[in-house]
Chains A and B, each alone.
Chain A
Amino acid sequence: MTNQHRVHLLHFGTIALLALLFFVLPAYHVGNLARIMVLATYAIGYNFLFGYTGLLSLGHALFFTAGMYGLGLAMTQFGLPSAPALIIGLIAACLVSAVIGFLALRTSGVAFMIVTLMFAQAGYLTILYFGTYTRGDEGFVIQQAKRVMFGIDLSSEVSRYFAALILFSICFLTVARIVQSPFGKTLIAIRENEERARMLGYDTGAHKLKAIIISGTISGFAGAAYALLFGYAGATFATVQYSIFPLLWVLLGGAGTTVGPLIGVIFMFYLIDLSSSITSAYMLIAGVALVLLAMFAPQGLAGTLRKRWFKWMP
């Protein structure tokens, strides 16, 4: 079995396992897993920029909500059906990430983190400012009757689960393919040593901008899908917390690994779920678990697996 076979087995095996879990798991966990797959898609978008290109953004909530409100407002304000609204959500996320990327890439390192954080805060305040349409913090519900695509009711348990799986699979396989392509390998080179990549003749600025646009559009895809599948859009998703979450998920799961985002989201989700069933001070348990993981597996779960045993993991 060549490494390429192993990679395919890992990726298609992950998707097959997720499909299988629907039939095996009790309803409660099936519901959780649908949400996890959407959030993991967000993390995949984040990981593309942070894990593979080496750019640490603290403003990805802006891209997530660009997709979320792009779809949500198109449906509630303009009465568009879900499919064209989804496309508007994707276009919104693509445009916002192109503009923010263009501006933020004038900086690097800590300044890049602060600039992206500030743009995301500006985005959050913009949502509050246009409260007439966005309903601010309270948010708005997308009626169940409207959450239909190609005749399928996306609010039902089955269709929601498999819609989330399709979303996840598209983004998971797309990113897996890109990071193994010459373009993706150049991004990794930029992460490793940008000056060297530039002095090999690569236009690193253009590469980084493309990476932000791809990352932001995937994040927006997840945001739009979240609104569509769970029927709600709110300004909470634009807060700094939702910019930090994908960073945490990716760090825990393994930055710069294809499966890391999914593992990170599952881990974090169930860590909080389980610890909150034990005590009301669940953040304490979660915090200790995170500290231990940071100490003993600094490269994240998948990152450690790759380092120790599976060097072929992309």
Chain B
Amino acid sequence: MDAMTILSTRNLTKAYGGIRANTDINFDLPKGQIMALIGPNGAGKSTFVGMVSGRITATSGDVFFEGNNISKLPAHKRIARGIAYTFQITSVFTGLPLRENIALAARRKLGSDKAATDIKVAQVLDRVGLTDRADMIAGDLSYGHQRILEIAMGLAQDPRLFILDEPTQGLTELEVENFIKLIKSLAGETTILLIEHNMDVVMKTADQITVLNQGEVLAAGTPAQIRANKAVQAAYLGTTDA
């Protein structure tokens, strides 16, 4: 673990009774990179990011964020340190206006500075292209727009580590294209950990790929290395053609 590593895990394990969802995961994420986490369904990807963000309590092992052991911290304190998390199943405040959804995300950091919050919200809305829908109730937005709102709420927190759990699930092709552009525009600003099933998105965005299979790290490397890896092909790429 060096100064350029933003997130590391050591022997991170989650067991549900006798079943191990994650076994001894050692993972290092260099700062500023886009890391994709891939693997077949049930490989333990969501469990892994759940343990990183604090939503799921680890059975054993440690999580380090910017060199500090955050294993004992509750989720909200980890988030407050600069981790943003977007849910796999869309989880926005459906009863509140879109603008207020993003303001809630921004306000935790900006506190009661209303002017700064307003500016931040306007910037984020503009960046994701939802400005004209700002006053709609989030629950009235289309599914695709709710997914984008979910990402916008992450952006509004100015995270140093941005965890996205299957952000493109259910998006149209055009929306996926826009998402790829958005993610690429974040390069350099923030470090991204992306769980993704869409191989096209992974190959177009990721600097590094980690492959999970049956709760263990199967391979890690650049997209080219992963594509050439026989074990990965057998476990994953060969069976699902994205």
* Chain B binder among A9-17, A108-116, A151-159, A187-195: A187-195
Interface residues of A in 158-213 (CB under 8 A from B): 181-182, 185-186, 188-189, 192-193, 195-204
Residues of A within 8 A of B96 (CB): 188-189, 192
Q: Does B133 contact A (CB under 8 A)?
A: no
Q: Mark B69-91, 1 if CB is under 8 A from A, else 0.
A: 00000111101100001010001
Interface residues of B in 74-121 (CB under 8 A from A): 74-77, 79-80, 85, 87, 91-96, 100, 103-105, 107-109, 111-112
Q: Judge whether B94 and A201 touch: CB under 8 Å.
A: no
Residues of A within 8 A of B80 (CB): 201
Q: In the complex, how many angstroms separate the beta carbon of B176 from the nearest chain A beta carbon? A: 24
User: Which of A181, A193, A195 has its CB near the most chain B CB atoms (within 10 A)?
Assistant: A193
Q: Does B53 contact A (CB under 8 A)?
A: yes
Residues of A within 8 A of B76 (CB): 198-199, 201-204
Q: Does B153 contact A (CB under 8 A)?
A: yes
Q: Mark A38-54, 1 if CB is under 8 A from B, else 0.
A: 00000000000000000
CA distance A195 to B87 in the complex (A): 10
Interface residues of B in 165-194 (CB under 8 A from A): none
Q: Judge whether B91 and A185 touch: CB under 8 Å.
A: no
Q: Judge whether A185 and B92 touch: CB under 8 Å.
A: no
Q: In the complex, how many angstroms separate the beta carbon of A210 from the nearest chain B beta carbon? A: 15
Q: In the complex, how many angstroms separate the beta carbon of B106 from the nearest chain A beta carbon? A: 9
Residue of A192, A195, A199 touching B94 (CB-CB under 8 A): A192
Q: In the complex, how many angstroms separate the beta carbon of A37 from the nearest chain B beta carbon? A: 30
Q: Judge whether A200 and B112 touch: CB under 8 Å.
A: no
Residues of A within 8 A of B75 (CB): 198-199
Q: Judge whether B104 and A189 touch: CB under 8 Å.
A: yes
Q: In the complex, how many angstroms separate the beta carbon of B74 from the nearest chain A beta carbon? A: 8
Residue of A188, A196, A201, A203 touching B91 (CB-CB under 8 A): A196
**Given A189-B96, A193-B91, CB of A200 within 8 Å of CB of B105:** yes
Which positions in B face A, CB cutoff 8 Å?
A: 53, 55, 74-77, 79-80, 85, 87, 91-96, 100, 103-105, 107-109, 111-112, 153, 157
Which positions in A face B, CB cutoff 8 Å?
A: 181-182, 185-186, 188-189, 192-193, 195-204
Chain A to chain B: the 7 pairs with minimum beta-carbon distance, closest first: A201-B79, A192-B93, A201-B80, A201-B108, A196-B91, A192-B95, A182-B112
